[in-house]
Structure 1
Amino acid sequence: MKKYFAALSTTALICVAPHALAASNTPLKVTGFITPAACDINLSRGGLVDIGKKSVNDLHPTSNTLVDTTKIQLTMACSETMPFMLNPIDHRPNTAAGAGDYFGVGLTPDNEKLGFFDIAITASTADTTPVQAIGSSDGGATWAKQDRIKLGNQSSVAATSDHATRIEVKDLTMDLEIKTYIAGTDTLTIDNEIPIDGLATIEVWYK
């Protein structure tokens, strides 16, 4: 999982100077901030979930099979207390079998969707205090309780008593469960060994 450090635009003002023959002009203003703060985000186990080899005989013929559950921990250390959002990116887009907010694990040689993985948040602590994981589907305009890191949504944390209000954090710990599923064998062509190949990045947005 790579680390992402957000930078906002500088402030400038560009005005269209009046020409000798022009009767009017209009300003163009670009605004924003450069923040001196930054966060370092890491995943335990090096961000690697290795489920080993699974036999096709262990897979359900007509429904998804849970083949592995691995616990890892996400930690974030910031230089100062600040608001943040975690934004996931799926590097195997459009390969997840099932719901659209899961992460893909690649395709078979016949371009069949092999399965997906889900990222559950089982516990969160901010600055030594237990907090509630929350999510937003509109870029942070509104928030609600969300115990998963969902593709297409942003994640953050709130006080356990108020799930709609994001709080500022300096140090964050999230306990995660990565659950990997393989699609029903009736949708797959498995004539040879097929690699399970999921890859996602979690960005930190400072806003």
Structure 2
Amino acid sequence: MNKHLRLFATLLLLNTGSTVFADTATDMTVSGLVTPSSCTATLSGNGVIDHGKIAAHGLNPGTPTALPTQWLDLEIHCTAPMLFALVGIDDRADSSPAPGTAFGLGKNTHAPDEHLGSVSLAFENALADTQPMQSMASTNQGATWTAQEAIHPRALMAFSRPGRPLPEHIVELNTRIRANTVINPAHRLTLKHEVPLDGSLVLDLRYL
């Protein structure tokens, strides 16, 4: 699974190409905040989880096969206390058996209709500015938050001290990401040749 880190901003463009003219005018406001502070994020191992070669005969024929759990260390450093969230965007969402909760592993290069499996991610042992933290998730753009370790695609993931209802400003965050990879049942896969696992996701850092 390849990791990409990306800081981004969004510009909304309004297209007013209609030839219909109204008698009244309407106002448009463009707002935002330019901040001198920023955050950088790094993952151990360049964000790569490598399961090596997996023998086809060792896969379960009728049920999914769980591969050994692996971990990555995530560090985020900010130049001042910042309120931020992380969002996992799945580059292989069309191959995930559960796109709302797990990231896809891609498709069989020799049989493109066959989906290889999925990887589930979760935060562990989070510390921010030397304080233990809980990870939190929001699926409604930050309107509400729930304590949750699992990293679901497209969900906002942030951090707070245990028991706090909202994300908190952080200067330095250290946490582990647990990765549980599962390969689909072997009888659903064509395994006459080597088949690469091809999971890929973007881990976006967004300022709240």
State the partner residue of 2:60: 60
After superposition, the C-alpha distances for 1:71-122 in whole angstroms (9 at most, x for unaligned) are: 1111100111011110111111211134632111111122211011111212
Between the aligned partners of 1:26 and 1:96, the Cα distance in structure 2 is 45
Aligned counterpart in structure 2 of residue 134 of structure 1, from 111, 117, 136 = 136
3-state DSSP of counterpart to 2:51: coil
Q: Is the 2:85–2:156 Cα contact (8 Å) retained in structure 1?
A: yes
1:75 corresponds to 2:75: yes
Q: Is the 1:75–1:171 Cα contact (8 Å) retained in structure 2?
A: yes
3-state DSSP of counterpart to 2:187: helix
State the partner residue of 1:2: 4
State the partner residue of 2:153: 151
Q: Residue type of the partner of 2:149? A: D
State the partner residue of 2:15: none
- Paired residues in the alignment total 195
Q: Residue type of the partner of 1:51? A: H
Q: Is the 1:114–1:188 Cα contact (8 Å) retained in structure 2?
A: yes
Q: Is the 1:61–1:184 Cα contact (8 Å) retained in structure 2?
A: yes
State the partner residue of 1:201: 202
3-state DSSP of counterpart to 1:87: strand
Q: Residue type of the partner of 1:168? A: H
Between the aligned partners of 1:65 and 1:23, the Cα distance in structure 2 is 66
Task: Please give the TM-score of this superposition, normalised by the length of structure 1.
Answer: 0.87
Percent of residue pairs bearing the same amino acid type: 29
Structure number with bigger Rg: 1
State the partner residue of 2:191: 190
For the aligned residue pairs, the C-alpha RMSD in angstroms reads: 1.9
| Deviation (angstroms), 1:8 | 6.5
Relative contact order (C-alpha < 8 Å, sep 6+): which is higher?
2
**Structure 2, unaligned stretches of length 5 or more?**
12-21
Question: Mapping of 1:77-156 within 5 angstroms?
Answer: 77-98=77-98, 100-108=100-108, 109-110=110-111, 111-156=113-158
